[in-house]
Structure 1
Amino acid sequence: MKKQQSLKENKHLKFDINIEKFLPVITGIFFIYGVYIVLFSENNIQSIFQKLQVKESLEKDVKALKEENRLLSNQKYYLETDPFYIEKKAREDLGLAMDNEDIYVIVDKNQNQKNNISQQKTEERWIDKIIKLYKAVRE
């Protein structure tokens, strides 16, 4: 009986020794598998960060669109109820006037001259282009 009991203890000890030998190997395998999942799987760290960036940009877009929606609903309310606002919009956006009113448009001459000069500087004259081509051919 003692012999059977000692055999059972020996088997138990062998099992404990085998577990102690393979525990680092098993732990290493799980660690490598975890690293593989984090770095190379379909839901890796890079894709998670990209999804978070997309989510943040979409949330910003939603916030901006809600603000725009609020402004448009206010404008709609004023267009439906306020005659002064309707008249103001007709004057500004459509250029309309009452029967007894004249519309004056003030044009800044200096601004037009500045625009013309800047356009002339950016546009090369046709004769200059021909001269450049002629010089390039001669060389």
Structure 2
Amino acid sequence: MKTVPQTRFFYTEPEPSASSFTFRSDLGIIGCIVSGLLLGLIVFALVSPEHGIPKVQEVIGITTQLEADIAQLTAENEQLLLQIEAIKTDPFWQEKIAREELNMALPGEIVYKFIQ
């Protein structure tokens, strides 16, 4: 018959070694104070209105607005390019601009101007 080795069913503290580290005892009170101050500085930097999360949200809003403006101006630019191409190639548009903006008329035409 085999014998089963006895095992412990309770937790035992590990032997302290040179590499074991406990935050409070190894850093001391000054280390804890410095760590707390650094943590406070990080939290303040995140919530400060000049440089923190509110500023990031403001910049994101401005970026979104500028992207919308760029899309609108790009569409307007494409429309203007189509108008320029039409003016260069379409005789109707050329005549319209000559008559309305340059006050030109064909030979033999009488131009009537109405005063409002």
TM-score, normalisation: structure 1: 0.50
- Alignment partner, residue 56 of structure 2: 48
Q: Which runs of 5+ in 1 are unaligned?
A: 10-14, 109-139
Taking the aligned partners of 1:76 and 1:39, their CA distance within structure 2 comes to 51
Aligned pair count reads 92
The separation in 2 between residues aligned to 1:77 and 1:106, in whole angstroms, is 32
* Alignment correspondent of 1:62: 70
2:46 equivalent to 1:38: yes
SS at match of 1:94: coil
Which one-letter code corresponds to 1:89 in the other structure? I
Root-mean-square deviation (Å): 3.4
1:81 match: 89
Q: Higher mean Cα deviation, 49-58 or 75-84?
A: 49-58
After TM superposition, the score normalised by the length of structure 2 is 0.58
- Alpha carbons 2:48, 2:54 under 8 Å: kept: no
- Looking at structure 2, the residues matched to 107 and 97 of structure 1 have their Cα atoms a distance apart, in angstroms, of 19
Gaps of 5+ in 2: 1-11, 17-21
Give % identity: 27
Larger RCO, structure (CA 8 Å, separation 6 or more): 2
